[in-house]
Amino acid sequence: MLKSDTFFGGKRETPTPNSPFSASSNLTSGSTSNIPKASNPVSTPVNHSSSSTNEVGSKLIVGPNIKLKGVEITDCDTLVVEGRVEATMNSRVIHIAEKGAFKGSAEIDLAEIYGEFDGDLTVREKLVIYSTGKVSGKIRYGKVVIEEGGQLTGEVQVGTSSPASVKPAAVTAVA
């Protein structure tokens, strides 16, 4: 590949044609003008408009051992809680992991609860409480699914609007 009279000698190494190391001798001389350009770029631009990951929209993940306190979460399509959150939010989806906890108020389209929610929860479409999930406080929902072992306690109301004629019932449900 490389031709040289001596390995450590003072003579300069000359590259052989089509060698993958053909630019290495130019690097030692300080000249970079003879470095060949790559004909095919290593990375290609990504068309984000057709990417399936963008269908999810904006996503905030509060990781394990993270505490987020005293905030208002806006313009977030999906909130994933693996740590602790004390906040107010109006979003599309909330996913509380098994070791995650949310305290505050939330207006959501879809709630998936594996961990704990405490506060004022309005779920416009579907509330899903898994076997490890605990939901307490003032809860309003369109539809509810409670897996065996899941807990729902507090003031519970079917429907997301609160007309004056409907009285919420205090309910404690353990599946």
User: pLDDT per residue over 155-166, tens digit each?
Assistant: 999 987 654 434
Across residues 12-23, what is the average pLDDT?
A: 52
Asked, for residue 156, whether it belongs to a domain, the answer is yes
Residue 150 and residue 167 in contact, taking contact as beta carbons nearer than 8 Å: no
Q: How confident is the model at residue 43 (pLDDT cuts 50, 70, 90)?
A: very low
Asked, for residue 44, whether it belongs to a domain, the answer is no
Full residue range of the structural domain in which residue 123 is found: 59-174
Asked, for residue 53, whether it belongs to a domain, the answer is no
Asked, for residue 82, whether it belongs to a domain, the answer is yes
> Given a cut of 90, is residue 106 above it in pLDDT?
yes
pLDDT at 145: 97
Share of the chain above pLDDT 70, in %: 59
pLDDT at 83: 97
The number of folded domains in the chain is 1
> Given a cut of 80, is residue 40 above it in pLDDT?
no
> Given a cut of 70, is residue 26 above it in pLDDT?
no
Q: pTM above 0.75?
A: no
> Given a cut of 60, is residue 133 above it in pLDDT?
yes
3-state percent breakdown (helix, strand, coil) of the chain, nearest 5 = 5, 50, 45
Asked, for residue 16, whether it belongs to a domain, the answer is no
Which CA distances in Å does 156 have to 130, 136, 167? Answer: 17, 9, 10
Asked, for residue 49, whether it belongs to a domain, the answer is no
